[in-house]
Amino acid sequence: MSKPQSSNPSQTPAHLPDAAALNQLAHLIKQWGKELGFAQIGISDTDLTEEEPKLQAWLDAGYHGEMGYMASHGMMRARAHELHPGTQRVICGRMDYLPPSAGFATNLRDPNLGYISRYAGGRDYHKLIRNRMKQLGQRIDVWLSEQGFSQSDNRPFVDSAPLLERPLADKAGLGWTGKHSLLLSQEAGSWFFLGELVINLPLPVDIPVSEACGTCIACIKTCPTGAIVEPYVVDSRRCVSYLTIELDGPIPEELRPLLGNRIYGCDDCQLACPVNAAAPLTEEADFHIRQQLKQPELLTLLRWSETEFLKHTEGSAIRRIGWQRWQRNIAVALGNAPYSDDIVSALQHQLESELPGDVAKEHLQWALARQLATKDRLVTDNRKQQRLIRSIEKGLPRDA
C-alpha cells in the first residue's frame, strides 16, 4: 500500500464520497480493522447528550477522587466534535487482552503472591492500539485518494484523551454497558480495550446491542471494596484499580485490608461475570504476561531495587506508577499476608534502607504492625474471595 499524504482538513474537498461510497468504505473499515488486530469495529455518531447529566452527577458526587483530569475538560468528554472539530463519526475498536494461562485462581488464592490485573502483564496497550488506529486512518485516506476523493481528517485516541470511550463503543454496537460500568458482549465478554478513530465523514452508523445483564448482580456482590455503589456507577475512590494505580498518596487505612494481594489493578468484577466464561483469548503476543510478572512472589517484588523495577516493567503500563507507589502497594499486600518471619525481616530491612519515600515508608510500617499483630492469630478468612475463586474454577477451567 502506498504511503498516504498527510491529511489536511483545511484544503477544499476535491470530491466528497457519496452514500454508496461511504457504505463501501464502512464495510472496508471493518475488514481493515480485523487485519490490524481489532476483534470488532463499530461506528457511532458523536451525540452523547444523554450521558452528560450522568457524567456531571458522577463528578458532583466526587467519584473521580483525585483524577483531576476527569473534571478539567467540562462536557468535552461527551462531545467528540469539540475535542476534534469537524468530527462526525467515531470508529470504535475492540482489542481483546485476556492472556493464555492467566492463572487467576492460583494467584488470588496464594496471599504470598502479588496479583497484577491481567490487562497489565504484557506491553502497554496505549501505544499499540493508537498505532493500529493510526494505520486504519492511513488506509482510509489511501482508499479515498485512490477513489478520487479528498482525504479525511481523522485522529486516533486511546484512553488518555477526554473522551467517553465506553458510551461511544456502546452506541457503536460493540456491546452493552454492564452493571460494573464496563462494556461487554456475549461473544467477547469484557476482557478488551477500546480505541477510537474520530473522523469527519458521515459514515453509516451501527446499531447498539440490547443490555443483557438481566437480574444478575454478581459484579456488585463480588467487588472487594464495595466500589460499585449502584448498578453502572463506580466510586473510583473505593475501586482497587484507582487505589493501586491512580492514587498518588496514602491508601485509606480502612480500605487496605480489603485489597488482599492485589498490587496493580483488580479484575474481580470481570471474574465474577458469567458472560466472561466464554471470552476469547488475545491474539496479541504483546499482551501475554511477561515471565517476571507471572504469579510473582511478593517478597521478590519488594526486593526489586528501583533500577530493577524500571528494567522489569519497561514498555509496560505498570512503569507509570513509579517505584514508590509500587512499594506502597506491595507493602499493603504483605500486611495482608499471613504472618511470616521472612516477611517481617524483609519489611524491617526495607524500612532501614532509607530508600522508600514517606508514603511507601508509612505503608511498610503499617504492614509490619499488621504482620506482628497477626502473629498469634490467623488472617481473617475472606469468604467473598474464596467464593470468587471457586466460581473462577468452575467457569474458567482453561485459565483457573
- Give, as one character, the DSSP assignment of residue 185: B
Q: Is 181 in the site for ligand B12 (CB under 6 A)?
A: yes
Cα–Cα dist 288/121, whole Å? 7
Applying the rule CB under 6 A, the residues between 184 and 243 that interact with ligand SF4 are 184, 213, 216-219, 223-225, 227-228, 234, 239-241
Q: Is 272 in the site for ligand B12 (CB under 6 A)?
A: no
Dihedral angle, C-alpha 253, 255, 258, 262, nearest 10 °: -90
Q: Is 392 in the site for ligand B12 (CB under 6 A)?
A: no
- 126 close to 159: Cβ distance less than 8 angstroms: yes
Q: Is 120 in the site for ligand SF4 (CB under 6 A)?
A: no
Q: Is 239 in the site for ligand B12 (CB under 6 A)?
A: yes
Is 384 exposed, middle or buried (CB count within 10 Å of its CB: 0-12, 13-18, 19+)? middle
Active site residue 159: yes
Q: Is 179 in the site for ligand SF4 (CB under 6 A)?
A: yes
Nearer to ligand B12, 29 or 164 (CB): 164
Nearer to ligand SF4, 130 or 262 (CB): 262
- Which range in 14-22, 235-243, 311-319, 342-350 contacts ligand B12 by CB under 6 A? 235-243
Q: Is 107 in the site for ligand B12 (CB under 6 A)?
A: no
Applying the rule CB under 6 A, the residues between 269 and 308 that interact with ligand SF4 are 269, 272-275
Element (H, E) at 243: none
- Cα dihedral across residues 180, 182, 188, 193: positive or negative: negative
Question: Which residue has the closest beta carbon to ligand SF4?
Answer: 178
- Find all residues with CB under 8 Å of 389, minimum gap 6, and list them: 105, 108, 109
Among 91, 108, 140, 164, binds ligand B12 (CB under 6 A): 164
Nearer to ligand SF4, 90 or 120 (CB): 120
- 203 close to 103: Cβ distance less than 8 angstroms: no
Helix 341-352 with 358-373: angle, nearest 10 deg: 150
CA dist list (Å): 161 to 69, 73, 79, 157, 356: 9, 10, 12, 6, 32
- 344 close to 351: Cβ distance less than 8 angstroms: no
Cα–Cα dist 149/16, whole Å? 6
CB of 381 to ligand SF4, least distance (A): 19
Point out the catalytic residue in the list 45, 110, 124, 159.
159
- 305 close to 255: Cβ distance less than 8 angstroms: no
Is 360 exposed, middle or buried (CB count within 10 Å of its CB: 0-12, 13-18, 19+)? buried
Q: What is the number of other CB atoms lying within 10 angstroms of the CB of residue 377?
A: 8
Nearer to ligand SF4, 234 or 346 (CB): 234
Catalytic positions: 159
Question: Would you tell me which residues interact with ligand B12 (CB under 6 A)?
Answer: 51, 54-55, 58, 67, 70, 117, 119, 158-159, 163-167, 177, 180-183, 190, 192-194, 232-234, 236, 239, 241-242, 246, 265-267, 269
Annotated binding site: 77, 159, 177, 183, 194, 213, 216, 219, 223, 239, 241, 266-267, 269, 273
Annotated binding site for [4Fe-4S] cluster: 213, 216, 219, 223, 239, 266, 269, 273
Question: Would you tell me which residues interact with ligand SF4 (CB under 6 A)?
Answer: 178-180, 184, 213, 216-219, 223-225, 227-228, 234, 239-241, 266, 268-269, 272-275
Annotated binding site for cob(II)alamin: 77, 159, 177, 183, 194, 241, 266-267
